[in-house]
Structure 1
């Protein structure tokens, strides 16, 4: 947890950026990301130098060459603000752009780094703040970055918006990542799903850090994220780094394009909130995906992509707009039929429509399914989330009502207790035959049974008799009033 004092400092820096003319929150985080990366490089160089001193050998793979000492964080952080601004703008950023790197995925995303912090005073404030963060403390540095990411309050131009962390954590807990998993988010953005999955594995499988083979897999081949926004790639990579993942596979890729094939059956777990909107070049869209579902709707194409990327037995938890559940087009129906008949559709968790405010008011659900290529859907578990612990308006203020712990608890018992729940309850199971009978409609209200309270009504003649008595009383009192006035 980061302290209130640290949050206050971040807020101060944030406001300074805005008053300094940088109004785009993504640009603010991007500039901070560059500086965090520079500090990371200096820390790595320092570790290499200490090792060289102990062994008496030259520094192995030095990141900073002779004559570049002034570009190191530990050097320029103490400079006078004006000099620091010049060194960072004219020295550090050209160094980042030319960085062949430490062999990490991070350096590849720095090749077009731009320095846009406008004033020496603002740069000095930012450097002082970041220098106070204990970067070797994974929890503190990760929480710091998460807090900054929470300030992104504008939707992306291609349907991107940040998935709330508590929803991500629910999806991760329900899919329970294992140390052997290959985890992918084909629309990774800030890498929130991958970060949460990494934290889950650390917490529930401590051996991943003590077993050499597991540790190597964790740091180098467990996590895969793709995005076609270079800013998001930088931010997502740094988010992973600050949460203690050394070499995640975070790459530039338009996941729906024709050239993005070649990884069929690669991953054992997909966690994603793919774009629901945005421009789509139909001609460049993968023909393999169009053979599965012929459509221009990105949410349907992404579902087809997930099925292609998963290995048999692989599972997925993905957020979809409500239209996927009941859309009447041929593409909608075909995709739902594939999930139910050819694969194993495990659950549909309906989310309240305010979950993504203030970014979007779209109604959504989470689909959980397992790739089998041979069916396996016996029944589908439905849950209607009414509250997620926050108000459903644009303010999203914390409230007491929260169904998410109950979702996780009932999910664990879906093959036993949940089978016996009535369809009038908040969660229930629906046999495959019923779903097939309804044309593979997956909307929860299609299967929910509503019990209306029985209300006893008085007989109409009794009501008329009462009205006649009232009318007689009114006429009598009007007569008395008339007599008083005459």
Structure 2
């Protein structure tokens, strides 16, 4: 967990960049990401040199061995005069890391080709390099800490992207990962990965739960094949690849793919899908994959993505995804067709209704988490509903921590659904039979099924109320008389 002192150091670096004229949070993150990557290359090189010195075994080098090549290493340029450092980083290091793409070792370097170095002045660069170096030297002790630092930086992305994408809060992601419980043998995918938050949360969960018992094959799977992410924003791809690298996932499959288009033909491949797909977008009807149109003929991304999850999961695969409330009760043909597909042809396990402030300050939209298993042969006999009222943070733009938090209760109840059978519809969670859902036109909004108990309010008889009003009138007249007397004096 990062301390207040570390947060202050990150805030200072951030302020220095803002003062230099870069005010878009995404650009700030991107520039910091490049510098963190440049530093990580030097770290790798140092490890290779130490191994070579110990074993005498020649290791392939990242940087050229001449004087110019060695001057591109973080450990060399960090102490240079600001102008010289700026010249080396902008004119030598940057072109060099972009050319690494040829024999790339990581997903991150694959997306460096269209990267731009935007730090405006030598002074700003020096402040960032000094600030980052101090963080690494004194505060970041291990990979977990690196990941936490990067997570804190990403938390500053407080605006939604052009396509309606925004960062899902970590505690919501962690809850969703714990709902589907990925294992070390699973293949996990987020087809709208953004900053790769769901993949990072999955990696953390697997390491926390299985680290002591994982085999070498499972660790190899963890470092590469286990995690796949797609996005259509190359900046996001760079950031997500770096985010995963900082969480020990060195070879993730982070790829530029328009997930709902004909470009994506993946089917029945993944064991787990976790996602918060874009809500606001519509896509070009011509480019939409015909398989998805067969499930729900629409241009709305929030519907197409759920149909996509069903296609990409293997039989028995699990999904937890966030959808806007409209998906649950929308009355169009496409809305109903998607809900019918989930309820009739697969196993819809849970609908967790979330309060509308969960995504503030990005958006105030009301959302829900759908949890389902792909079966292709039905399996929904009843659906578990939960009305989440609090998530541990205030539901305003500030999102400050509070005591009330339903997440532990949600997880405990979801993993013991036997105990939920006798709950009434006046409770916070309850089951609804499939027959009820079908009778209600496949409506999945909790308000359709929740029963509210109204307390009868007892009022005094009108005569008593009138007497009370008379008494008050006399008191007012008395006070007015007293006040006039005071003014008269």
- Determine if the TM-score, normalized by the shorter chain, exceeds 0.5: yes
Aligned match of 1:142? 147
Of residues 22-31 and 273-282 in structure 1, the stretch that sits farther from structure 2 once superposed is: 273-282
Aligned match of 2:81? 80
Task: Report the CA distance between 1:207 and its aligned residue.
Answer: 3.7
Q: For 2:436 and 2:471, how far apart are their aligned partners in 1?
A: 59
Aligned match of 1:398? 401
Compute the RMSD of aligned alpha carbons: 2.0
Aligned match of 2:96? 95
Aligned match of 2:107? 105
Task: Report the CA distance between 1:472 and its aligned residue.
Answer: 12
Aligned match of 1:191? 196
| TM-score using structure 1 length | 0.93
Aligned match of 1:11? 11
The one of 257, 273, 282 equivalent to 2:261 is: 257
Call closer, same or farther: CA 1:467–1:70 in 2, change over 3 Å. closer
8 Å Cα contact 2:282/2:300 also seen in 1 = no
Q: For 2:346 and 2:219, how far apart are their aligned partners in 1?
A: 32
Structure 1 unaligned spans of 5+: 479-486
Task: Report the CA distance between 1:417 and its aligned residue.
Answer: 1.1
Aligned match of 2:303? 300
- Equivalences for residues 96-135 of structure 1 within 5 A: 96-99=97-100, 100-132=102-134, 133=136
Call closer, same or farther: CA 1:125–1:332 in 2, change over 3 Å. same
The one of 209, 219, 243 equivalent to 1:204 is: 209
Aligned match of 2:223? 219
Aligned match of 2:412? 409
Matched, 1:316 2:319: yes
- Equivalences for residues 74-473 of structure 1 within 5 A: 74-99=75-100, 100-132=102-134, 133=136, 137-207=142-212, 211-261=215-265, 263-414=266-417, 416-457=418-459, 463=462, 467=466
Call closer, same or farther: CA 1:457–1:93 in 2, change over 3 Å. same
Q: For 2:295 and 2:329, how far apart are their aligned partners in 1?
A: 18
8 Å Cα contact 2:281/2:300 also seen in 1 = no
Of residues 131-140 and 63-72 in structure 1, the stretch that sits farther from structure 2 once superposed is: 131-140
Q: Secondary structure at 2:398's aligned position in 1?
A: coil
Q: Secondary structure at 2:263's aligned position in 1?
A: helix
Q: For 2:462 and 2:233, how far apart are their aligned partners in 1?
A: 69
How many residue pairs are counted as aligned between the two chains? 469
Q: Secondary structure at 1:46's aligned position in 2?
A: helix
Call closer, same or farther: CA 1:390–1:175 in 2, change over 3 Å. same
8 Å Cα contact 1:101/1:107 also seen in 2 = no
8 Å Cα contact 2:104/2:110 also seen in 1 = no
Q: Secondary structure at 2:166's aligned position in 1?
A: coil
Call closer, same or farther: CA 1:466–1:92 in 2, change over 3 Å. closer
Task: Report the CA distance between 1:9 and its aligned residue.
Answer: 1.5
Structure 2 unaligned spans of 5+: 478-489
Task: Report the CA distance between 1:129 and its aligned residue.
Answer: 2.1
Task: Report the CA distance between 1:277 and its aligned residue.
Answer: 1.1
Listed one character per residue, the Cα deviations across residues 364-398 of structure 1 (whole Å, up to 9, x for unaligned) are: 00000000000001110000011111111111111
8 Å Cα contact 1:350/1:382 also seen in 2 = yes
Task: Report the CA distance between 1:311 and its aligned residue.
Answer: 0.1
Task: Report the CA distance between 1:433 and its aligned residue.
Answer: 1.1
Call closer, same or farther: CA 1:378–1:466 in 2, change over 3 Å. closer
Q: Secondary structure at 1:420's aligned position in 2?
A: coil
Of residues 34-43 and 343-352 in structure 1, the stretch that sits farther from structure 2 once superposed is: 34-43
Matched, 1:64 2:69: no
Of residues 95-104 and 435-444 in structure 1, the stretch that sits farther from structure 2 once superposed is: 95-104
Listed one character per residue, the Cα deviations across residues 329-352 of structure 1 (whole Å, up to 9, x for unaligned) are: 010001001100100000000000
Q: Secondary structure at 2:317's aligned position in 1?
A: strand
Matched, 1:48 2:25: no
Of residues 418-427 and 128-137 in structure 1, the stretch that sits farther from structure 2 once superposed is: 128-137
Q: For 1:473 and 1:155, how far apart are their aligned partners in 2?
A: 55
8 Å Cα contact 1:157/1:278 also seen in 2 = no
Q: Secondary structure at 1:74's aligned position in 2?
A: helix
Task: Report the CA distance between 1:259 and its aligned residue.
Answer: 1.2
8 Å Cα contact 2:16/2:128 also seen in 1 = no
Listed one character per residue, the Cα deviations across residues 112-133 of structure 1 (whole Å, up to 9, x for unaligned) are: 2211111111111111222231
